Copies of this chain bind each other. A is one copy, B any other.
Amino acid sequence: MNCPLPTSRYDTITLAHGGGGTLTASLLNEIFLPAFGPPAPAPHDASAFAIGPQQLAITTDSYVVQPLFFPGGNIGSLAVNGTVNDLLMAGARPRALTASFILEEGLPLATLRTVVDTMQQAAQAAGVRIIAGDTKVIHRANGDGLYITTTGVGDIVTPAPLAPERIAAGDQIILTGDLGRHGIAVMAQRLGLTFEPPVQSDCAALSAPLLELFAAGIPLHCARDATRGGLGGILCELAAAAQLAVEINEAALPVAPAVRSACELLGFDPLFVANEGCAALFVAAADVEPTLAILRRYAVTAQALVIGQVAAGRGVTARTALGTTRRLVPPSGEQLPRIC
């Protein structure tokens, strides 16, 4: 199901370096970490730091999605929800966001206004304020129009930051939603394809259910939203970071019929298609039921279910509907570039 791995040695940047796969990891491991040093025992969506007694988390992401608008959202809602979710994944309550805009000469102001208004609505829905920003303008180029970088700061409200190294053998893996809607929605918009029913991006903030899990004191071990690289990508990354094996039940994975059809048509594996409002949570077996009970009370996580577990060993295996198993190989890049 995976293409042979392309060469991993490049002298120049390729689109796949931005895909969240092994090539993105090679940039991290060969350029960024040797210079900046590791922010934490394992790289994570958000980094923890302390100011005095206050434990904080910080995360930053640039958004370069094409096209800017897609069914279910636009680059602005994506930027806000993505940053909010990254803070939540570290066990932090989002407290402040910043937004920096790189605008292409010629961008209609009306487009900018719509995106900014959407950001404000998304921030309000997620219970966070955008309190600082910047604007730069670049020369007219290929019509991309607009890049947004959002940074979020929150206070860690779990007893310890959620992190891959806290994953333990026996942990159950809960998936909060169905797979691949964001990637397929963006791709369909880009290619001018229409599906019946149309596929909407799952772009949403997970604040309400996650903050309730934190407040209820449910001891989550790790949480990760399945963005670039999809669920398959993040599971490969987490299994490697935790030095454990992850086993998932492929037949149990929720995939909307339209997403499944689009993937079959286009040769995509839904396990590696990006989501923007769906996370994998790692909890001890005893905590599964209370976790699911809370998640199912919120529309955004109403479909939550157990999709697999953690065991001794290494790597990620998927039990197929036929009863066989396949080993998931980390993607070298995103199947769909410029997805976020």
Residues of B within 8 A of A105 (CB): 12-15
Number of copies of chain A assembled together: 2
A98 B59 Cβ-Cβ under 8 A: yes
A102: CB under 8 A from chain B? yes
A134 B62 Cβ-Cβ under 8 A: yes
CA of A80 to CA of B13 in the docked complex: distance in angstroms? 23
B12 A98 Cβ-Cβ under 8 A: no
* Chain A stretch 1-36: residues in CB contact (< 8 A) with chain B: 10-19, 24, 27-28, 31-32, 35-36
B60 A151 Cβ-Cβ under 8 A: yes
**A 141-169 to B, binary, CB cutoff 8 A, 1 in contact else 0:** 11010010101010100000000000000
A130: CB under 8 A from chain B? yes
Stretch of A49-57, A211-219, A310-318 lying at the B interface: A49-57
Nearest residue, chain B, Cβ from A48: B131
CB distance from A209 to the nearest CB of B (A): 22
Nearest residue, chain B, Cβ from A38: B131
A99: CB under 8 A from chain B? yes
A185: CB under 8 A from chain B? no
Tell me which of B11, B35, B138 contacts A120 (CB under 8 A). B35
A residues near B (Cβ < 8 Å) are: 10-19, 24, 27-28, 31-32, 35-37, 39, 46-47, 49, 51-52, 54, 56, 58-64, 95-96, 98-110, 112-113, 116-117, 119-120, 123, 129-139, 141-142, 144, 147, 149, 151, 153, 155, 337-338, 340
